[in-house]
């Protein structure tokens, strides 16, 4: 059978097994969704999420995005339901044995899908998304002053980190063995036209890995401290320091464990401001030369993923508390974590992409031998050749914090990127309390029991779509 015919038959089989994943423009879908969120219309964002996921069986990203929008809207119980569904899917895929049928589909989707396109692989979430899921769930609990509930989610965060570490070690060993068997291996720095500097940025290289968040461990320390478990709080702060030794804020928390507790009329308050959106994942074409057995060199134009940072939310470094400026410290960047993850994943991505390039070059080489008068040393355009752009977009990008002692009672808080907006009123009535804000574009979302109920506008329909 003609090589091109076999290739197209294979593509058709994969598409039948995986549906329309290859044709789904996830980046465009989420741009529409986040536009609604940035305009202050979370109801419209939720409507779009449902519109773009009409099937009865929802995927992991559906629950990621829905939970984040519901959390921003202040619907914390509903947000937890969505995120618990996401958590359950992660557990089913990672922590338990799959059924025979699942194994078959996973093998087809992941092996054959990688031949045609990474977009056909089942989306299991990136490691940093899995860790940040339980961190965001803990923040929902803390917004309700449920420190015991937050403790449970924090424990899951630690367990997931340990599981990911074991899985990563095995994956790296497998890739190293395959690289040795194949001889010289292409590095991402060798890819002509690929934006290497983004993966080699100092902030990216400084991270120990792409999934451990110093903020998550600091939050664990604060939660244990609030529960009176100082012997568990100290390891949380120490782990944060180990991950970010350049952060005096974490060292201060460890030192302050030995200091007297707040007075009866005071509260130890942690202000958390999360801003922006996780970066988009885009696709860039790169020429990839393939040398065939007959010494033909065919250039295959293949696609690799790149991260595109979100710039829709102005940067800021302070918050106003009762009219006084309080500095904020940036303790987490999803952009940096996603770039580090991509950097670590590139050997596997290159391996799969190189295999697709070899198949495409082989087809072209066969055509060249059959009719040398029409020989071409560049592969024909392939509509399937596009990097996977799926990623959790509504995940907050930058996390900033400050910690201070406040008198119990009512206070005012505002951010500098919302000029003219009235300060938000919040009440401190716990010995330890977390106050959370979400900044997105020119919008400030607040949730939790500390904030006074506002006269929320009526839900709006989706607007401004083309």
DSSP 3-state of 369 = helix
Q: How far apart are CA 134 and CA 149, in angstroms?
A: 11
Q: What is the pLDDT of residue 27?
A: 83
Q: How far apart are CA 111 and CA 124, in angstroms?
A: 15
Q: Let me know how long the chain is.
A: 466
Q: How far apart are CA 152 and CA 97, in angstroms?
A: 24
Q: Is residue 323 part of a domain?
A: yes
Confidence tier at 119 by pLDDT (50, 70, 90): low
Q: Is residue 455 part of a domain?
A: no
Q: Is residue 415 part of a domain?
A: yes
324-372 pLDDT, tens digit per residue, is 999 999 999 999 999 999 999 998 888 888 888 998 999 999 999 999 9
Q: Is residue 337 part of a domain?
A: yes
CB 261 within 8 A of CB 431: yes
Q: What is the pLDDT of residue 459?
A: 43
> Would the pLDDT of 120 be above 80?
no
User: Angle 214-226/230-243 helices, nearest 10 degrees?
Assistant: 170
Q: What is the pLDDT of residue 260?
A: 86
CA gyration radius, the chain: 25
Q: How far apart are CA 290 and CA 357, in angstroms?
A: 7
CATH (domain of 58): 1.25.40.10
> Would the pLDDT of 58 be above 80?
yes
Q: Is residue 68 part of a domain?
A: yes
Q: Is residue 420 part of a domain?
A: yes
- Provide the β-strand partners of residue 324: 321
- Specify the higher pLDDT residue, 270 or 115: 270
Q: How far apart are CA 412 and CA 318, in angstroms?
A: 14
> Would the pLDDT of 400 be above 70?
yes
Helix (H) or strand (E) holding 28: helix 26-38
> Residue ranges of the alpha helices (H) in 74-206?
76-94, 100-107, 113-116, 127-143, 147-182, 196-199, 202-205
Q: How large is the average pLDDT for residues 209-231? A: 96
DSSP 3-state of 368 = helix
Strands 318-321 and 297-308 turn out to be unpaired
> Would the pLDDT of 112 be above 70?
no
Residues 6+ apart with CB under 8 A from 419: none
Percent of the chain with pLDDT over 70: 84
> Would the pLDDT of 106 be above 70?
no
Domain count, the chain: 1
CB 83 within 8 A of CB 133: yes
- Specify the higher pLDDT residue, 378 or 186: 378
- Specify the higher pLDDT residue, 9 or 306: 306
Helix (H) or strand (E) holding 272: strand 266-275
Q: How far apart are CA 431 and CA 3, in angstroms?
A: 71
- Provide the β-strand partners of residue 299: 289, 378
Question: Could you tell me the residue range of the domain that residue 277 belongs to?
Answer: 3-446
DSSP letter, residue 340: H
Q: How far apart are CA 442 and CA 419, in angstroms?
A: 9
Q: How large is the average pLDDT for residues 44-69? A: 95
Confidence tier at 11 by pLDDT (50, 70, 90): very low
Q: Is residue 72 part of a domain?
A: yes
Q: How far apart are CA 236 and CA 242, in angstroms?
A: 10
Q: How large is the average pLDDT for residues 166-178? A: 78
> Would the pLDDT of 18 be above 70?
no
272-289 pLDDT, tens digit per residue, is 999 999 999 999 999 999
CB 48 within 8 A of CB 462: yes
Confidence tier at 202 by pLDDT (50, 70, 90): very high
> Would the pLDDT of 161 be above 70?
yes
Q: What is the pLDDT of residue 228?
A: 95
- The mean predicted confidence, pLDDT, of the chain is 86
Q: How far apart are CA 68 and CA 201, in angstroms?
A: 28
> Would the pLDDT of 52 be above 50?
yes
Q: How large is the average pLDDT for residues 48-61? A: 93
Q: What is the pLDDT of residue 465?
A: 42
Q: Is residue 320 part of a domain?
A: yes
Taking the CB of residue 201, how many other CB atoms lie within 10 A of it?
Answer: 14
244-272 pLDDT, tens digit per residue, is 999 999 999 999 998 888 889 999 999 99
- Specify the higher pLDDT residue, 414 or 23: 414
Maximum CA extent, the chain: 89
């Amino acid at each position: 059978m003609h090589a091109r015919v076999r290739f197209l038959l294979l593509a058709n089989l994969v598409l039948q097994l995986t549906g329309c994943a290859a044709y789904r423009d996830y980046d465009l879908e989420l741009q529409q969704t986040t536009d609604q969120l940035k305009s202050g219309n979370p109801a419209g964002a939720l409507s779009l999420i449902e519109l773009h996921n009409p099937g009865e069986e929802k995927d992991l990203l559906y629950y990621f995005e829905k939970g984040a929008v519901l959390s921003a809207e202040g619907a914390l119980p509903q947000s937890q339901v969505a995120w618990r569904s996401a958590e359950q899917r992660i557990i089913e895929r990672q922590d338990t044995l799959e059924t025979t049928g699942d194994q078959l589909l996973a093998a087809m989707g992941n092996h054959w899908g990688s031949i045609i396109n990474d977009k056909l692989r089942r989306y299991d979430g990136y490691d940093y998304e899995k860790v940040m899921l339980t961190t965001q769930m803990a923040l929902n609990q803390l917004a309700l002053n449920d420190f015991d509930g937050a403790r449970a989610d924090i424990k899951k965060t630690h367990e997931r980190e340990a599981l990911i570490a074991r899985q990563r070690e095995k994956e790296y060993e497998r890739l190293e063995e395959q690289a040795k068997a194949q001889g010289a291996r292409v590095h991402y720095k060798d890819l002509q036209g690929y934006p290497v500097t983004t993966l080699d940025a100092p902030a990216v290289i400084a991270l120990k890995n792409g999934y451990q968040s110093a903020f998550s461990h600091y939050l664990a320390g604060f939660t244990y401290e609030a529960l009176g478990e100082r012997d568990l709080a100290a390891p949380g702060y120490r782990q944060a320091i180990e991950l970010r030794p350049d952060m005096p804020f974490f060292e201060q928390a460890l030192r302050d464990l030995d200091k007297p507790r707040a007075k009866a009329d005071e509260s130890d308050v942690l202000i958390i401001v999360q801003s922006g959106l996780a970066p988009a994942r885009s696709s860039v074409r790169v020429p990839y030369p393939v040398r065939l057995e007959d010494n033909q060199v065919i250039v295959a134009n293949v696609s690799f993923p790149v991260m595109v940072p979100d710039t829709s939310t102005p940067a800021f470094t302070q918050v106003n508390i009762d009219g006084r400026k309080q500095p904020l410290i940036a303790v987490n960047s999803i952009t940096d974590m996603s770039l580090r993850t991509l950097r670590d994943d590139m050997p596997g991505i290159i391996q799969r992409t190189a295999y697709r390039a070899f198949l495409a070059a082989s087809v072209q080489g066969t055509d060249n031998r059959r009719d040398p008068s029409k020989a071409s040393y560049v592969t024909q355009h392939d509509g399937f050749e596009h990097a996977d752009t799926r990623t959790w977009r509504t995940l907050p990008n930058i996390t900033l914090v400050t910690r201070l002692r406040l008198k119990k009672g009512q206070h005012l808080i505002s951010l500098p990127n919302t000029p003219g907006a009235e300060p938000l009123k919040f009440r401190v009535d716990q010995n330890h309390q977390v106050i959370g804000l979400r900044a997105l574009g020119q919008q400030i979302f607040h949730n939790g029991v500390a904030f006074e109920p506002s006269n929320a506008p009526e839900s709006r329909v989706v607007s401004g779509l083309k």
